[in-house]
Amino acid sequence: MLFYWDIAGVFIFAISGALAGRQKSMDFWGIYIMALVTSCGGGTLRSILIGDVPPFLFTQPVYLIVAAVGTLFARFFPSLWDMFSREVSVLDALGLGIFVCIGTDIALDHGLSWWAAAGLGVITATFGGVIRDVLRNEVPLIFRKEIYATAALGGSLLLMGLQSVGLGQQWCIAIATVATAVVRLLAIRYAINQSSS
Amino acid sequence: MLFYWDIAGVFIFAISGALAGRQKSMDFWGIYIMALVTSCGGGTLRSILIGDVPPFLFTQPVYLIVAAVGTLFARFFPSLWDMFSREVSVLDALGLGIFVCIGTDIALDHGLSWWAAAGLGVITATFGGVIRDVLRNEVPLIFRKEIYATAALGGSLLLMGLQSVGLGQQWCIAIATVATAVVRLLAIRYAINQSSS
Amino acid sequence: MLFYWDIAGVFIFAISGALAGRQKSMDFWGIYIMALVTSCGGGTLRSILIGDVPPFLFTQPVYLIVAAVGTLFARFFPSLWDMFSREVSVLDALGLGIFVCIGTDIALDHGLSWWAAAGLGVITATFGGVIRDVLRNEVPLIFRKEIYATAALGGSLLLMGLQSVGLGQQWCIAIATVATAVVRLLAIRYAINQSSS
């Protein structure tokens, strides 16, 4: 189940990266690399920082494939993205939540303290977007969108809090993911410190 | 033999990086760091990604020296670069090919799958240029020059194909390098999706 | 003693990063991340390059806290920075010196050659600023401020020279740090190749 949400998050983030590349009139390869770094860059940086190399991107082909599908999707059906912008926002917010939970848990598995795990959860969820913005030569959006990183940090802390009271792992991840997504979506709804992403 | 081609590739890529720094009126150190990251950045990133640390740049002084010579060359004889632009293109294309082969083979030596080795071959050959462009505050050229990455990917796959049919290692590398370079040069010749680099 | 200087250097570099983020009207998180990468980015890159992971930033909470204090300081008392610009310059120059010494010694401890240790000392002291400038979408200042990297390199070589003649470790670090700072401050004083930082 976690795996499928991870894949869904990669897919959504890949489309967001591919569209960002498209705006800068990149060619197919450029757009694909944008899709890859946006969806897998945060997790790859986490892997490097905790010495968990080679990163998953180089051991499991599924990520390359999902990012390629997202790239094709962004290339041929960019208008669908606008048409379903509400659904896209929900999926994007859930992707943020699931990435935070995965990053936090992997850091804990590697023996890091809770505060370091929270940091790596936030990095996992947000640094793909930072690299995306650096590559397209813009000041990273996340640095000007407070609620995005705050939602991620809150989700990571909530996950560890729930785990520490002994709740089942599936429930912890589900609740923390949804809570992260809800905070994110409320921020969009009420336009708190928010651009269009 | 492979070693000398590697050095030749580093030299050419270093000059290209130094000239890119010069255009942004960097000082001597800036230009030298540009030469270093352009020529060794891709290989260093590959080393980090597969856990092969410290990277060669910090264990073999020859790369620092070759990049320094390239920097001096770019500083004092920039006009030679224009005068011999045809020869420079050939060397640059051969450098691309040899970097792809080296990156692919090192990844295979570390037990990665063929598709991951192809990815690391492309990263070895192209990410020095990506870092160069990020540092001089431009959208990476490679993202808008399809044929460059395509030639690298093709070279990596050809190398592994030749190796799988049992051809001698020297021949595999020679053929894959030349094939990569030829694709690259044909793309320049017929101006397919190409800037001046 | 070394530890307190390290903390002082992190504090000063964090304020410099936070102010750089403030200029780009980043939000609180953006400014805090700028403070963190400016003060700890060089050391983190060094850790990744020598395989010393997870980096100190993820094992010792003190750095997060010091960077947070620096961020608050930059947010609420930015004018103090201007008022004491002379003192700030001295602290910044001492921070440069101490970071160079720490980076050099850690690299030597990991068995690297003197020239690689010098390189890692310079990276430790300067790459936080490089990442800061990349994130705020500018060509890194260090690439246009020759004397900054030169002072760092000189400090690293001096440190190793003093160590090789058998001087006590405390003295070696004190002398190399002060020498680096003096070169840096003289460069500011006589406006050699210098912006305001």
Q: What is the number of domains present in chain B?
A: 1
Measured CA to CA, the distance from residue B147 to residue B153 in angstroms comes to 10
Residues in chain A within 8 Å Cβ distance of B134? 134-135
Among B109, B106, B101, B157, residue whose Cα is nearest residue B125? B101
Residue C197 lies in a domain: no
Q: How many angstroms separate the CA of residue A160 from the nearest CA in chain B?
A: 29
Measured CA to CA, the distance from residue A24 to residue C134 in angstroms comes to 18
Q: How far are the Cα atoms of A11, B77, C68, C131 from residue A130, in angstroms, in the given order?
A: 17, 38, 20, 12
Q: If pLDDT is split at 50, 70 and 90, which confidence band does C192 have?
A: low
Residues in chain B within 8 Å Cβ distance of A58? 49-50, 112, 116, 119-120
Q: How many angstroms separate the CA of residue A189 from the nearest CA in chain B?
A: 33
Does any CB of chain C come closer than 8 Å to the CB of residue A140? Answer: yes
- Interface mutation vs chain A, best among C40, C48, C58, C134, most A CBs within 10 Å: C58
Full residue range of the structural domain in which residue B30 is found: 2-189
Measured CA to CA, the distance from residue C118 to residue C106 in angstroms comes to 11
Residues in chain B within 8 Å Cβ distance of A71? none
Would you state the pLDDT for residue B194?
44
Q: How many CB atoms lie within 10 A of CB A195?
A: 10
Is the ipTM of this structure higher than 0.85?
Answer: yes
Residues in chain C within 8 Å Cβ distance of A139? 24, 26, 135-137
Measured CA to CA, the distance from residue B27 to residue C145 in angstroms comes to 7
Residue C34 lies in a domain: yes
Residue C162 lies in a domain: yes
Residue B197 lies in a domain: no
Residue A87 lies in a domain: yes
Measured CA to CA, the distance from residue B107 to residue A131 in angstroms comes to 24
What DSSP string describes A62-122? HHHHHHHHHHHHHHH-HHHHHHTHHHHHHHHHHHHHHHHHHHHHHHHHTT--HHHHHHHHH
Residue C60 has pLDDT above 90, yes or no: yes
Would you state the pLDDT for residue B196?
42
Residues C46, C124 contacting (CB under 8 angstroms): yes
Q: Do B25 and C140 touch (CB under 8 A)?
A: no
Q: Do B27 and C120 touch (CB under 8 A)?
A: no
Would you state the pLDDT for residue C194?
44
Residues in chain B within 8 Å Cβ distance of C143? 21, 24, 26-27, 29-31, 33-34, 135
Residue C148 lies in a domain: yes
Residue A195 lies in a domain: no
- Under-70 pLDDT residues of chain B: 1, 146, 191-197
Residue C84 has pLDDT above 50, yes or no: yes
Taking CA–CA distances from C18, the nearest residue in chain A reads A143
Task: Give the residue with greater pLDDT, B27 vs C176.
Answer: C176
- Interface mutation vs chain A, best among B126, B143, B147, B148, most A CBs within 10 Å: B143
- Interface mutation vs chain B, best among C143, C156, C183, C193, most B CBs within 10 Å: C143
Residue C80 lies in a domain: yes
**Across all residues in chain C, what is the average pLDDT?**
89
Does any CB of chain B come closer than 8 Å to the CB of residue C130? Answer: yes
Q: How many angstroms separate the CA of residue A116 from the nearest CA in chain C?
A: 5
- Under-70 pLDDT residues of chain A: 1, 146, 191-197
Residues B38, B56 contacting (CB under 8 angstroms): no
Residue C197 has pLDDT above 50, yes or no: no
